[in-house]
Structure 1
Amino acid sequence: MNLFVFGLGFSARRFAEVARGRFGQIRASVTDPDKARALSDETGFSVRAFGPEGDDPRIADDLADTDVLLVSVPPQPEGDPTLRAYRDVIAASRVRWIGYLSTIGIYGDHGGAWIDETTLPAPLSARSKMRLAVENAWFDLGRETGKAVQVFRLSGIYGPGRNPIVKLREGRSQRIVKRGQVFNRIHIDDIAATLIASIEHPRAGAVYNVTDDEPAPPQVVTAYAAGIAGLPLPPEVDFETADLSPMARSFYGENKRVRNRLIREELGVALAFPTYREGLAALKDAG
């Protein structure tokens, strides 16, 4: 069984590393040719360039020799670049399982209420609207070809090297307070476990919320991270006056509590890090 990953980023790379022993060949793509060469040496995977500078001509042959396909490529206004370039190749291939990494942002704002996979998408931002369109395009491919397409809607991703403790150590953390605001999170190891469980139990057309058990205010998470790492706690900053990028500010325009019941009950996933507390405790020394 062979794996191809479009977009070997933070989450997808962790999955490929954790699941390495399950696959005979692991091939992947990144946008930059120099990065592709460096990652090939670093990971032992066969990493190809797929981006503005052109596509590695070996990708089509790779896909013909692929059983499991994971797509972690940002959408574009004109659609999914993977489908645009390789839809026919994938349709004709022996690929049997396709996973698309999406976002809980497609649900939009629910005023802090609990939601699950039965909640209708109502994306607010342009990027979330593009994500939803790409989800539907992959499902269309699945229906036309009989391939099992699954969508994984991820909450705020964290893990080694990318988490509140690292931000505190690097002096990049703000303890932003917006009344009533909560966010869900998910550790990359729990993303990997969910993908593996889905590969073992595919269901065509499935949508899964991949998220932790406890949505929490961001300032509470920052305070917990500072406490366990023995780092100074940044002062509270009111959201209205906080120095945030337009994208970061837009995240605060969506407030919801996301349930993960389906990954537990259908796929049998037991989260290694069910809340931010377990996740940050495990990262305290590793960073």
Structure 2
Amino acid sequence: MTPPLVLLGSGYTLTRLAVAEARAGRDVLAATRDSARREALERAGARVTSLDEALSLTDGARVVVSVPPDAGLDSRIAEALARHPPSRLVYLSSTGVYGGARGLVDEDTPVEPTSPTARGRIDAESRFLPLGAVVLRIAGIYGPERSTLARLQAGAVRLPEGGGGRISRIHVDDLVEAIRVALQWGEPGAFYCVADDRPAPQEETVTWLCARLGLPLPPRVPLESLHESLRGDRAVSNARLKEVGWRPRYPDYVAGFTALLEAEGRAGGPEPLTVRRLRPDEAEVFWALRLRGLKEHPEAFGASLEEDAVRPMDVVRARMVGDSQVVLGAFDGGRLVGVAGLRQGPELKSAHKAWVWGMYVLPEARSRGVGRRLLTGAIEEGRKMAGVERILLSVSVGNKAAQHLYRALGFRTYGVEPAALKIGGTYIDEELMCLPL
């Protein structure tokens, strides 16, 4: 017989879990004081009760605790659970326990007890761990009616000046599944971080959403004026949770927000992508995109941001005209999201070759095949150039996504140039590739 599921603190996430489990025929006991959630829970078949009554019924049950530390109830809940021990216990914590940690974060990253926002969660974890709790440290939760999408539509989103750092997120339905996995397979006393596969800056997600919805970008404000959860640069690893069988249905914000848009009946998606030659009067927007690529990925280009930032526009426009060179642009509606250049060898003995240069696609457009469309277009342009027999390009060794794309389109490696680029004190090897036409 399946033990009952007792949910202490049925807020946004646990209400979603309770409704799904109750509809599946599970005996669910949910403690909440929210009248709107109470109605949804009872309609689904869950039993709604007070926290005190729920705590008296936890013997042998599977229990999930989601009461926030600022409620001041952790000690009382832990003492009650010690008197009425559950068969399995999961405590919902937060990646906020890592305080100001930046970069890659996992379960072994030191917590930051001096942080006021982290201290409450750390103290709560310490109360439930001796009871055999599985602790889930959860990244920023989003889902229906609770996301950047909802805030964007309400005009409440602000972008940080300078772009901001990476933020880890988790769709509420993937969190619900993580709780199920933790209840079934989680190791008592262990920590598991819950996040999707792709941390991304707020600017990237908002830009993608604005393009989908046809909205202008929100205003920019100083980074320090935003909530602390938006000021860091943190990539939360979900590797340990995957080891016990969890997989996200929405591995990144593109999949997650697409599902939210579909749920709202706006599944038409973005405007069709188009790839065409850029005109000289589009030099400024082209160069702005190129400079962004040089800034974000200096290792991927032979050119440098310092040099190209001061290059005259007349020189840029000159690269965009003529029969022996072309700059292609990929447009998402009216927005330029990717570029690639192709130039034929200038001398008589090199005129049978053309080189791909400056290929760059905005991060939010990379899941839509933009790079493939640009490179395919460049190959077609090369076939039109008089006398061109082969197309050459170089790619930084280790850039697996680009290497896979180039090979898929027929490029083959003919050599590797060691230390082809030097950025500061770092040397970068380049793989040399060729496509016979």
Considering the TM-score relative to the shorter chain, is it more than 0.5? yes
Q: CA deviation at 1:124?
A: 5.0
> Residue type of the partner of 2:126?
N
Higher RCO (CA < 8 A, seq sep 6+): 1
Separation in structure 2 between the aligned mates of residue 279 and residue 252 of structure 1, nearest angstrom: 19
SS at match of 2:30: strand
Query: CA offsets per residue over residues 17-56 of structure 1, 9 Å max, x none?
Result: 3333666321111235x45753444443222234xxxx5x
1:146 paired residue number:
none
**Which has more strand, going by share of residues?**
2
SS at match of 2:50: strand
Q: CA deviation at 1:216?
A: 1.1
2:194 paired residue number:
210
Cα distance change on mapping 1:202 and 1:252 into 2, 3 Å: closer
Cα distance change on mapping 1:94 and 1:70 into 2, 3 Å: same
| Mapped pair 1:283 → 2:274 | no
SS at match of 2:178: helix
| Mapped pair 1:76 → 2:70 | yes
Separation in structure 2 between the aligned mates of residue 3 and residue 83 of structure 1, nearest angstrom: 21
Higher deviation after alignment, 155-164 or 250-259: 250-259
Q: Which has the larger radius of gyration?
A: 2
1:260 paired residue number:
238
> Residue type of the partner of 1:63?
T
Matches within 5 A, 1:1-287: 1-20=3-22, 24-32=26-34, 34=35, 37-50=38-51, 55=52, 58-64=53-59, 67-76=61-70, 81-84=73-76, 86-93=77-84, 95-111=86-102, 113-142=103-132, 149-240=133-224, 242=225, 244=226, 248=227, 250-265=228-243, 267-287=244-264
Whether the 8 Å CA contact 1:177–1:219 is kept in 2: the answer is no
Query: CA offsets per residue over residues 103-153 of structure 1, 9 Å max, x none?
Result: 111112233x212111111245323111001101101233xxxxxx10000
Query: CA offsets per residue over residues 151-208 of structure 1, 9 Å max, x none?
Result: 0000010001111221122222222335552210000111111111122213111100
Separation in structure 1 between the aligned mates of residue 99 and residue 255 of structure 2, nearest angstrom: 27
Query: CA offsets per residue over residues 36-84 of structure 1, 9 Å max, x none?
Result: 753444443222234xxxx5xx3344324x511001111038x5x1441
Separation in structure 1 between the aligned mates of residue 16 and residue 173 of structure 2, nearest angstrom: 7
Identity among equivalent positions (%) equals: 30
Separation in structure 1 between the aligned mates of residue 117 and residue 186 of structure 2, nearest angstrom: 27
Separation in structure 2 between the aligned mates of residue 190 and residue 218 of structure 1, nearest angstrom: 20
Cα distance change on mapping 1:35 and 1:154 into 2, 3 Å: same
Cα distance change on mapping 1:68 and 1:218 into 2, 3 Å: same
Separation in structure 2 between the aligned mates of residue 103 and residue 37 of structure 1, nearest angstrom: 25
Whether the 8 Å CA contact 2:166–2:233 is kept in 1: the answer is yes
Q: CA deviation at 1:215?
A: 1.4
Whether the 8 Å CA contact 1:28–1:47 is kept in 2: the answer is yes
Whether the 8 Å CA contact 2:164–2:202 is kept in 1: the answer is no
Q: How many residues align?
A: 262
Q: CA deviation at 1:217?
A: 1.0
> Residue type of the partner of 1:136?
S
Separation in structure 1 between the aligned mates of residue 55 and residue 96 of structure 2, nearest angstrom: 32
Structure 2 portions without partners, runs of 5+: 265-437
> Residue type of the partner of 1:75?
P
Whether the 8 Å CA contact 2:195–2:238 is kept in 1: the answer is yes
> Residue type of the partner of 1:45?
A
Separation in structure 2 between the aligned mates of residue 137 and residue 39 of structure 1, nearest angstrom: 31
Cα distance change on mapping 1:83 and 1:68 into 2, 3 Å: farther
> Residue type of the partner of 2:57?
D
Cα distance change on mapping 1:178 and 1:20 into 2, 3 Å: farther
4+ residue runs of structure 1 moved beyond 6 angstroms?
none
What's the C-alpha RMSD, in Å, of the aligned pairs? 2.4
Structure 1 portions without partners, runs of 5+: 143-148
Whether the 8 Å CA contact 2:165–2:231 is kept in 1: the answer is no
Cα distance change on mapping 1:5 and 1:137 into 2, 3 Å: same
Separation in structure 2 between the aligned mates of residue 38 and residue 49 of structure 1, nearest angstrom: 14
Cα distance change on mapping 1:151 and 1:222 into 2, 3 Å: same
Whether the 8 Å CA contact 2:134–2:188 is kept in 1: the answer is yes
SS at match of 1:257: strand
